[in-house]
Structure 1
Amino acid sequence: MYENAYYSQEVHGPYEVHDIGDLVLEEGGTIRGCKLAVATHGRLNAAKDNAILIPTWYSGTNKIIEQVLIGPGRALDPEKYFIVIVNQIGNGLSSSPHNTPAPAGMANFPRVRIGDDVRAQHRLLTQTLGIERLALVVGGSMGAQQTYDWAVRYPDMVRRAAPIAGTARNTVHDFLFTETLCDALTSDPGFARGFYASPDDVRDGLLRQAKMWAVMGWSTEFFQQERHKALGFSSMEDFIVNFMYAYFRVMDPNDLLCMAWKWQRGDVSRMTGGDLRAALGRIRAKTFVIPMSSDMFFPPADCQAEWRLIPDAEFRPVETIDGHLALFGADANAIAQIDRHLRDLLAAPVP
């Protein structure tokens, strides 16, 4: 355990930290005194039927979601809805390897699955916030994995679901790519088997990860059209160092590895003996499947194959050349498309 100023109220607040008690994990470990960092916007109405849950994605926190998706006049309008953003376990704000005291912290932090996050969020919503129904669960990337898990695990609680740029069961291709992200970190001699003193010790590994994210996170069209220049960077070297590496260099490697491990193993069919059709057939929520057209992590074809297995679902792709990282909000047109889809979904009648 060590202090990392990046994971602070000054950078990502305001948020509140809730202790939900001991969380026994699917892999057999336990997070004692599991803490969830939660940011809320708006108020729960008297009927308690206006709650929206947003789980976070890999490396992301509540702050980027607030900046990209939430605001007055937007689909996710805090004047109409009670919006709850829960930072996933391992993201640095909630219980994570770097902020857990010895001996259970750092490389000894237990393995966490997507389902563990969802069960923890369910405990928070029902026992702490008094929420029994969700008007919408929406999340991007790993947030989409959690959205799918919510809709399958708690079908009577979720009225609408919007998985954005993510799948219900991770693919072999995506598993392999994510493994290279992990290897980039663990192969750095400064990683010291997960017991380094600060992210600076793993700077080479974090730089390698940043470059890999640049390759797969954006799209080939992004580079062909020199979108990095439109974003204010004079060259590709400038973009890699002052955007991609600047983003990752302050993050804790063990936290990133914790999230990557569960990302790789996201699979709602674990609840139905490996039968994906049966798992997605449990969904009762009105569902919009929203892929990014140029996403190389979660290609539209992979998302479309799952969409066909979901009752009463719509396929709503977003056209963008920003690839998976359109989630960051640099393409205003992509965000406008997401906003329109979410507005349509929230207006759709549900049982």
Structure 2
Amino acid sequence: MTNYYSQENHGPFELIDIGSLELEEGASIPDCKLAVAIYGTLNADKSNAILVPTWYSGTSKIMEQAYIGEGRALDPAKYCIIVVNQIGNGLSTSPSNSTGSLAGPGFPQVRISDDVRAQHRLLTEHFGLESLALVVGGSMGAQQTYEWAVRYPDFVKRAAPMAGTARNSAHDFLYAEALIEAITTDPAYQSGLYGSSHQVAAGLKRHAKLWTVMGWSTEFFRTSRHKALGFDSMPAFVDNFMTGYFAEMDPNNLLSMAWKWQRGDVSRNTGGDLAAALGRIKAKTYVMPISHDMFFTCDDCLAEQELIPNSEFRPLHSIDGHLGLFGTDAEMLKQVDAHLLELLSTPAP
């Protein structure tokens, strides 16, 4: 386990052992540990719990920094906000912190549904919850939000998937494949048996460049928005911001999450019928794509929202595109808060 995935960098979080987790693909994770960050306190009837799942490469720390705080929609003074790090992200059980046959490239294939079942076990058995006031997540966090609302429709009172879809598109599958190949084609990757992340620097840099091209937007480039983020040139932005972000991450962790992202699909609950799956949702749902997102487009998200009962389409405007999720656009964060405050004020179904 590298120092990158430490309490110092990403804490505070608590590791909670939920026991053996049987995976949809057939393998299992003995002693599956979920890294959990909690902000606020459960009320007497445990009706104020909010679940925030994490996205690709992200941890509970970025969720705290970008979305949680006094006076925000996710206010710890009002709610008990439970941020659960997804399996494979380096804090929860992952290739980088597993031992024996599960270590590194031996880590089993985990699906979005596995994460959600693990989280359900955590919330019911460890916290004694019977419902969630809200599930809100971006990107892969949105995939988990949708899976929660479809798999446990009576448990989830409100749902806010941001910048993500209920069923991954063929376009996103291919993009994630390119991200995977950027890493695995680095000779230093050695089929996942590298000594440290730094040995795979070339692959991680290619990976970061792909994220730069698609994660922001063409308008982001045209308006030289990188300068507003404090970088004089695009090469400096790529090298210091994007490459610097991914450089310390464990490649096998990234590959585990990418495989999971590619196969996110709530219709697995209904034999492949997406309309039937989304029709099961009882939560009051706000579908919140980002206007200039080149992964999860507004059109793709709108097509799904129209299949969800009691839902509304609430796009967020930002030329920062998908990576606006990281809190780079203060105006977009204001939109997020306004929508979530409205959603939370809506009586639960």
TM-score under structure 2 length normalisation: 1.00
* Matching residue of 2:164: 166
Task: Quote the RMSD (CA, aligned, Å).
Answer: 0.5
Return the alpha-carbon distance in structure 1 between the equivalents of residues 329 and 348 of structure 2: 31
Of 120, 123, 132, 1:134 maps to 132
**What are the ranges of 5 or more consecutive residues in structure 1 without an aligned counterpart?**
none
Post-superposition offset of 1:103 = 1.7
Is residue 215 of structure 2 the alignment partner of residue 223 of structure 1?
A: no
Post-superposition offset of 1:213 = 0.2
* Residues 87-166 of structure 1 mapped to structure 2, 5 A cutoff: 87-166=85-164
Letter in 1 for 2:144: Q
> Number of aligned pairs?
349
Letter in 2 for 1:272: T
Deviations 1:15-36 (A, max 9, x none): 1000100101000011110000
Where 1:6 maps in the other structure, the secondary structure is helix
Q: Indicate the percent of aligned positions where both proteins have the same amino acid.
A: 66
* Matching residue of 1:266: 264
Return the alpha-carbon distance in structure 1 between the equivalents of residues 62 and 193 of structure 2: 29
* Matching residue of 1:34: 32
Post-superposition offset of 1:350 = 1.8
* Residues 182-261 of structure 1 mapped to structure 2, 5 A cutoff: 182-261=180-259
Deviations 1:269-290 (A, max 9, x none): 0000000000000000000000
Letter in 2 for 1:65: M
* Matching residue of 1:44: 42
* Matching residue of 2:175: 177
Where 1:103 maps in the other structure, the secondary structure is helix
Post-superposition offset of 1:306 = 0.1
Return the alpha-carbon distance in structure 2 between the equivalents of residues 274 and 40 of structure 1: 35
Post-superposition offset of 1:115 = 0.1
Post-superposition offset of 1:104 = 1.4
Post-superposition offset of 1:349 = 1.3
Is residue 51 of structure 2 the alignment partner of residue 56 of structure 1?
A: no
**What are the ranges of 5 or more consecutive residues in structure 2 without an aligned counterpart?**
none
Letter in 2 for 1:307: Q
TM-score under structure 1 length normalisation: 0.99
Of 285, 288, 292, 2:286 maps to 288
TM superposition outliers: structure 1 runs of 4+ over 2 Å: none
Return the alpha-carbon distance in structure 1 between the equivalents of residues 130 and 200 of structure 2: 43
Deviations 1:34-77 (A, max 9, x none): 00000000000001100000000000000000000000111000
* Matching residue of 1:276: 274
Letter in 2 for 1:98: S
* Matching residue of 1:349: 347
Return the alpha-carbon distance in structure 2 between the equivalents of residues 286 and 309 of structure 1: 13
Return the alpha-carbon distance in structure 2 between the equivalents of residues 161 and 32 of structure 1: 30
